[in-house]
Amino acid sequence: MGGFVYSQKPISLARGEDVYLYDEEDTQFLDAGASYACTPVGHCHPQVVEAVQQQVSDLLFVQASYPTEAQDSVYEKLDAVAPADVDNVWLCNSGTEANEAALKFARSATGGTKIVAAKKAFHGRTMGALSATWKPKYRKPYEPLLADVEFVDYGDADAIAAAVDDDTAAVILEPVQGEGGVNPGTVEFLQAAREATEDHGAALVFDEVQTGLGRTGTFWACEAAGVTPDILTSAKGLASGLPMGATLCADWIADGAASHGSTFSGGPVVSAAAAATLDVLVEADLPTNAAEVGDYFVEQLAELPVNDVRGKGLMVGVEVGRGANAMLRDLALSHQILALPAGRRVVRFLPPLTFTKSHADAVVDAMADILEEDA
């Protein structure tokens, strides 16, 4: 009996505080994965906890068409951090749904049908978002998916230019690929996508579900590249792990969007969590900390006997010679450090953005120990 989709880890977690998690026996774990970037301001940040507790006792839920103070506050705060004029916000419950909406809005606003995505891309697991996701293991058993999707090599500017035509509704890209192995996109590649979409009246969608909210050292990863999309999606840490996604759109997309909705969209409790999370990210200037500590972390990791270290800010991948899963098991069970895989060979770090250099040192020391034992 019980669940069947997830394999269970041999650690049962009971509580969390900032970058630390504690199991039932109160053993402390350094959380360098943040459950896939879902706790950008740290576990149980007091401002977030207080906002949620207050909202739970005031009003647990009301449908999205009744404005609430919490929901208004999320719109306002997302507007304040939105890149340029990409400030029309649709709220939902996950990254998949945010991308699903992005693809639908792009189709209705452009009248086109074709979608261009990148090899190794991950955009989610509903039928539309899955159609733009690359990995055969995720796709194959569920085919046929959307017919009109073309995949190009991530990083190939000429291929993007060649793939986009007058029937293209959207080009969807992660500014740094996450699940695909932590692959940062070059400015040239992202710019080529911007130019091609502009030339053909298609929408440029940046999936910032993993890269957003300060993770890569700027509030959105696209800011560092100087490329503004027509649609930007967010989720993961937006409400500190309560389920919330957001699709941010330029006016021409919002004006062209057809009927769409979701019952739980922008409910008061998740909205209170998101508003508090956005406040902490901005007030504590966590994107700047991510940039500084991330640079230091990458420098230190690069000293280790590994095949490659890459990433941006506190989104870091380390390609290890042996399987990533063996390294992750040793990190967790022998060194009480939790991290994530990104494919078979890449160990991925997406810690809370409150991560410090001494936390980074602890991870690097543990990796060095494990690699030495292997040698």
Ligand X SMILES: *Cc1c(COP(=O)(O)O)cnc(C)c1O
Residue with structure tokens 């994107």?
Answer: 287
> Which residue in the set 178, 180, 266, 352 belongs to the binding site for ligand X (CB under 6 A)?
178
Return the number of the residue (5 or 375) whose C-beta is nearest ligand X: 5
Nearest approach in angstroms of CB 144 to ligand X is: 21
Q: Which two tokens stand for residue 145?
A: 């998916």
Nearest approach in angstroms of CB 297 to ligand X is: 20
Under 8 Å CB-to-CB from 101, ≥6 apart: which residues? Answer: 90, 92, 233, 247, 260
Nearest approach in angstroms of CB 94 to ligand X is: 4
Calpha distance 258→132 (Å, rounded): 21
Residue 209 in the binding site for ligand X (CB under 6 A): yes
Q: How many residues does the chain have?
A: 375
Residue 94 in the binding site for ligand X (CB under 6 A): yes
Question: Which residue, among 268, 363, 249, 230, has the nearest Cα to 306 in the 3D structure?
Answer: 363
Residue 241 in the binding site for ligand X (CB under 6 A): no
> Which residue in the set 77, 114, 120, 123 belongs to the binding site for ligand X (CB under 6 A)?
123
Subset of 25-64 contacting ligand X (CB under 6 A): 36
> Which residue in the set 16, 33, 40, 95 belongs to the binding site for ligand X (CB under 6 A)?
95
> Which residue in the set 164, 235, 280, 364 belongs to the binding site for ligand X (CB under 6 A)?
235
Calpha distance 369→335 (Å, rounded): 9
Report which DSSP code applies to 155: T
Nearest approach in angstroms of CB 121 to ligand X is: 8
Q: Which two tokens stand for residue 114?
A: 């074709």
User: Buried (b) or exposed (e) across 24-55, using 16+ Cβ within 10 A?
Assistant: eeeeebbbbbbbbbbbbbbbebebbeebbeeb
Window contacting ligand X (CB under 6 A); options: 107-115, 188-196, 202-210, 262-270: 202-210
Residues paired with residue 29 on neighbouring β-strands, in sequence order: 21
> Which residue in the set 55, 71, 73, 96 belongs to the binding site for ligand X (CB under 6 A)?
96
Return the number of the residue (218 or 300) whose C-beta is nearest ligand X: 218
Site map 284..323 versus ligand X, x via CB under 6 A: ----------------------------------------
Under 8 Å CB-to-CB from 263, ≥6 apart: which residues? Answer: 63, 64
Q: Which spans of this chain sit near ligand X (rule: CB under 6 A)?
A: 36, 94-96, 99, 122-124, 174, 178, 207, 209-210, 235-236
